[in-house]
Amino acid sequence: MSPSIIEFENVVAGYSPSLTILNETTLDARRGEITLLIGPNGAGKSTVLKTLFGLLLPRLGEIRFEGQRINGKPPRELLAEGIAFVPQGRNLFGSLSVRHNLELGGITLPRAELRGRIDEVLQRFPRINERIDNQASTISGGEQKQLEIGRALLLRPRVLLIDEPSIGLSPKLVEQIMTMLRTLADEGTTVLMVEQNVRTALRYSNRALVLEMGRLALDRPASEILQDPDLNRLFLGGHARTSAAG
Amino acid sequence: MTASPSLLEVKDIRKHYGAIKAVDGVSLSVDPGEIVGVIGPNGSGKTTLFNSILGQIKPTSGNVEFCGEDITGMSPLQLSRRGVGRTFQTLQVFVKLSVRDNLIAAAQEFKGTMPSRLFAPPDAGLGYHADEMIELFRLKHVAHLPAGSLSYGQQKLIDIAMAFMPAPQLVLLDEPCAGVNPILVDELHDLLVNLNRTQGGSFVVIEHNMDFIMKLCAHVVCMVEGKVLAEGPPAEVQSNRQVLEAYLGN
Amino acid sequence: MNRTRRAILVVALMVGALLPLFLKSYGIYLLTLLCVYLMPAFGLNLIVGYAGQMSIGQGAFYGIGAYIAALLMTKAGIPFWLVLPVAATSCFTIGLALGFPALRVQHHYLAFATLGFNVLVYLVMRNEEQLTGGTFGMSNIPRPSLFGYSFDGALPFFYLTYVSLLALGCVLWWLLRSPWGRAFAALRDNPIRAESTGVNITAYTLLAFAIGAACAGIGGAYLAALVNFIEPGQFGVSVSLTMLLAVIVGGSGRFFGPVLGSAIVILLPEWLRFLQDWYLTLFGFAVIVMMIFLPGGLLSFADRLKTRRRAP
Amino acid sequence: MGELIHLVVSGTATGAIYALAALGFTLLWQASNTVNFAQGEFVMLPAFMMLFFIGTLGTPLWLAFLLTCPVAMLLLGYTFKRVIVDPLIRHGVIPLVIATLGLAIGLKQLVKASVTAQAQPFDSAFPNGLLTMGTITVSYADVGTLLLAGMIVIGLQLFLNRTLTGRAMQAVAQNTEAAKVLGINVQRMVLYTFLINAVLAVVTALLITPTYLAKFDMGESIGLKAFYAAIIGGFNQARGALLGGVLVGVLENLTGAYVSAAYKEGVALLLFMIVIIVRPEGLLGKPEERKV
């Protein structure tokens, strides 16, 4: 079993003093694996990613990256340390070209290095290369998601956080994106993913963490959960906790 | 007894944003006193459907009938006058008013006319009713604090209590359990059942908490990508293959 | 309202009534001016503080009221008591019309729209010389009399204004305590929710502007009678601006907020005369400091202390 | 015909000046949702700074302009952002509007109290005289104004579109959250916008003060025109500010000549009223969806 690279210990976080989402959450992600976060809406999956990436300050608890405490570090510093984040939804700058969108992903790199890195990413995404001079708002949804992922890879992150990459994409495109993430993980990048398209995502993941009301309810190898006849109940009624106990 | 006419009749509602079909031909009907649940993965168009029914946005096509009257495209104001109430997905209380004033504000506009309200007592004659509701929702200890100063869960309760203040015939609840702790969720279930029994109103509930929906509703509609994928009794929808696939991928 | 507050109010009203007896004529004039100024300020507080709309145009209604009074009294010889309802209803009607942009746009857009309205009214006052006397203004505006008793003297006119202000204050107090007040607050706190709980936001928005404008119209008529001479400069954008800041500094959405704020912009500069133009300089910068540290206005200070004590 | 062209050209020149002030206004809005009601005073203050350099240090106008730029960037850019905007912006638009209204009064009265209440003459950056081409006569000042304003606008567009920093600023304006996720230093990009706004204000002062004269309340009019130009053109579009400014300038000139000189000031206003009633997002603006 590979060692933990990301650890949450009793983390409490929320969007306002009166709204707590993460409730003493404890979980971890292991090096070179795809860890899948699943659970009903409002369980705190996206909040885990946002808190980890410094977009939300944890009120209590500790977040560690390679054993070092990273609570409250801003995204800029975390990027420099090797964590990148692809948030949910559309995150491109529509009026700028595809190339310029890519470039902005490397804004923290020395300018001299930027060009080489862009070429490296373009090799991985030939579709993006074809659209390089188009306005970002004019490319298709699948291309946009690929561009977003490519933009995050520009920094050669050791950990990639990705939130609901499949939203709005056709099943075929989802498979493509998942395959790509699997390749990345096999090359050594740790992937922490939130995904609603659970069955598909499980097939590509190593491990699944089920969150419920801001807490870890279940931690199993992905293949095991995929076989579990209770998977349905997890989402359509019946508490995860009961199925974990049973 | 002949089949009673339905209270709400939604016929083939569509809401398109350019090429994106947020709601794509949804029909549903709600009988008097019935509690209908609407489920579906994120982005399946549930809230857009609500907003189209409630006049918050204008549907591209289709129509909505309430008590046999065509109410398509009516403003929220006109709808509330006809007895259609709602709660919102995000918190929507009057932050600077006290809890009690929030409840009175939710119902006072249905009493008398605007000029007559100018000469009405300050509580518009609703003080007693508001206090009853405060008792029911166990908000007595905070009744005189500004609503904005309370916790998320408490504000959510106020939000729901407000919708029921004018005793509407139909209430549409948009994710009443979101951000509410598990103990409160159980209480909420009891409250809604209680209100359904005492006020006799019908509800349509959007909710992701499946236990809640399955316990509360007699009829469940599952939406996926703007369409109704399945509907029927909760147990049936729960075990429907397509529904499972929609939630879990295939 | 609890007992201490009621006691404070009674004492304050007594002091207000008795103070002029001990003042020279300029002091009485200033107190009268404060009473006059409070009429539009109360109206503005209804618009901004209670109904949550933005307005930098209250000075225009103040001016419209004053010009209507001046015109009708000097040119047509109509008595003050008949002029008053004309000024109020005219401003009410125009206020209703100005409310329409507020239905389309909010916040800073509305600020610009009302400010623009003020500029327009100012231009009309300045340019339509035949009617308004242009930059020369209108003079010899008489003070009212009632059943042969003339309010010409400084003290009689003060008491007339004082009593009128109290009457206006009572009407507004009653209005804001009625369900209407709650509807205005609902409109301010959350218009979308308000609409779905049956509040006719169109009607209440327009009414807020109209009632606020009517208050300013009444105030304008009293101003014309007080100063006997009016010119466009008294009703420019800067007047509206100062009035808005007075309401906010005092504490918008609090009934007595405008009293404190108006005292700061009307009385305090007289007391701090040696500061001259530096007074407004300090006032301007003080507004910034207040927005950062006490955005609810000076009257919110007590509440602030209370919440701080309640919080652990 | 010659007269009409002359009016249009000089109107365009005046409009270009309004457009510069309006441009700064829209940039601030896009980058940080800042509405600056003291924008007019931000033009007035540099005018007096330049007069100070000319009067006290005896520098020529161009040097005074160059010296004023960094001072304005420090005071009207950096200090404004750090002291007033940063603490207030998270409370929404209105508190900031009120604070900048206070700032407008404070700055005006400060100049009135500490410098002078009288209008001060201000030399034009361009030579006097008229340029005649056939029946068409235009002044050097108008041509110079148009050229300088044009250069500034084009230079700014080049910076925003052709440099990585400029594009990062656009990114922040379009989607602040996404920009933050990429490690773009959002606060620094916003600061750049404030600095650009300060420089635009200095240029506006250089161009407008010869006609308006340097006076403590000169900002009221130019500030108002800038707001209206920005809203007419579209608050969320830089191109909108340009269109709005020129439209106001030209229509004002034509109204002044053919309709009524007295109501010239009302033109921007009327146009603004029509726009917010008919098309609140402005002529080139994109509508901002009402949030449910």
Average pLDDT rounded to a whole number, residues A17-38: 88
Q: Is the pLDDT of residue D65 over 50?
A: yes
Q: Which of B143-147, B190-194, C85-89 has the highest mean pLDDT?
A: C85-89
Encode pLDDT of A210-245 as tens digits.
Answer: 888 888 888 889 888 888 766 666 665 544 443 333
Q: How far is CA C93 from the centre of its chain?
A: 17
Domains of chain D by range and CATH?
2-278 (1.10.3470)
Q: What's the rounded Cα separation, in Å, for the pair A8 and C300?
A: 42
List the beta strands (DSSP E) in A51-188: 60-65, 68-69, 83-86, 159-163
State the residue for tokens 């924008």: D39
Q: What's the rounded Cα separation, in Å, for the pair A152 and D135?
A: 62
Q: What are residue B98's phi and psi, to 5 degrees?
A: -70, 165
Question: In one letter, which amino acid is C219?
Answer: G
- pLDDT band at residue D218 under the 50/70/90 scheme: very high
Encode pLDDT of B32-52 as tens digits.
Answer: 889 999 988 777 888 889 888
Look up the pTM and report it.
0.89
Reported as type and span, the H/E element at residue C271 is helix C268-271
| CATH 3.40.50.300 placement within chain B | 1-83+168-250
Long-range contacts of A87-90 (CB under 8 A, 24+ apart): A87/A49, A87/A50, A87/A163, A87/D177, A87/D178, A87/D181, A88/A46, A88/A163, A88/A164, A88/A167, A88/A194, A89/A167, A90/A144
Residue D291 sits at the chain B interface (C-beta within 8 Å): no
Average pLDDT rounded to a whole number, residues A135-140: 88
Residue in chain D closest to B91 (alpha carbons) equals D292
Contacts of C170 (CB under 8 A, 6+ apart): none
Per-residue pLDDT, D254: 92
Average pLDDT over chain D, rounded to an integer: 90
Give, in order, the Cα–Cα distances in Å from A156 to each of A84, B19, B205, C58, C149: 9, 36, 45, 60, 91
Per-residue pLDDT, A1: 65
Average pLDDT over chain B, rounded to an integer: 86
Encode pLDDT of C9-58 as tens digits.
Answer: 999 999 989 999 998 889 999 999 999 999 999 999 999 999 999 899 99
Per-residue pLDDT, A239: 43
Q: What's the rounded Cα separation, in Å, for the pair B156 and B8?
A: 25
- pLDDT band at residue B244 under the 50/70/90 scheme: confident
ipTM of the complex: 0.87
Average pLDDT rounded to a whole number, residues A95-106: 92
Residue A32 sits at the chain D interface (C-beta within 8 Å): no
Average pLDDT over chain A, rounded to an integer: 87
Per-residue pLDDT, C38: 96
Q: What is the DSSP string of D9-66?
A: HHHHHHHHHHHHHHHHHHHHHHHH----TTHHHHHHHHHHHHHHHHHHH---HHHHHH
Number of domains forming the structure of chain C: 1
Neighbours of C7 (CB within 10 A): 10
Contact B65, A64 (CB under 8 A): no
Contact D177, A49 (CB under 8 A): no
Neighbours of C148 (CB within 10 A): 5
Per-residue pLDDT, D288: 56
What residues make up the domain containing C252?
Answer: 3-310
CATH number of B1-83+168-250: 3.40.50.300
Q: How far is D99 from chain C, CA to nearest CA, in Å?
A: 5
Inter-chain contacts counted by CB atoms under 8 A, chains B and C = 93
Residues of chain C under the 70 pLDDT cut: 1, 308-312
Please count the helices (runs of H) and the strands (runs of E) in chain C. Answer: 15, 2
Between A80 and C107, the higher pLDDT residue: A80
Contact B189, B215 (CB under 8 A): yes
The two tokens of residue A109 are: 């790199």
Q: Residue B213's closest CA among B90, B48, B38, B44?
A: B38
A103–D167 CB contact, under 8 Å: yes
Q: What's the rounded Cα separation, in Å, for the pair C309 and D85?
A: 29
Residue B86 sits at the chain C interface (C-beta within 8 Å): yes
Cβ-nearest to D182 among A80, A105, A111: A105
Tell me what percent of the residues of chain B surpass a pLDDT of 70. Answer: 97
Q: What's the rounded Cα separation, in Å, for the pair A155 and A136?
A: 20
Q: Residue C218's closest CA among C64, C108, C51?
A: C64
Asked if C touches B (at least 3 Cβ pairs < 8 angstroms), the answer reads yes
Domain A4-82+159-245: CATH architecture, name and number where available: 3-Layer(aba) Sandwich (3.40)
Inter-chain contacts counted by CB atoms under 8 A, chains B and D = 4
State the residue for tokens 């910068």: C285
Burial class for D57, CB neighbours closer than 10 Å (0-12, 13-18, 19+): exposed
Residues of chain C contacting D, Cβ within 8 Å: 54, 56, 100-101, 104-105, 107-109, 111-113, 115-116, 119-120, 123, 126-127, 192, 237-238, 241-242, 244-245, 248, 276-288, 291-292, 295
Average pLDDT rounded to a whole number, residues B124-128: 90
Per-residue pLDDT, C113: 86
Tell me what percent of the residues of chain D surpass a pLDDT of 90. Answer: 63
Per-residue pLDDT, D279: 83
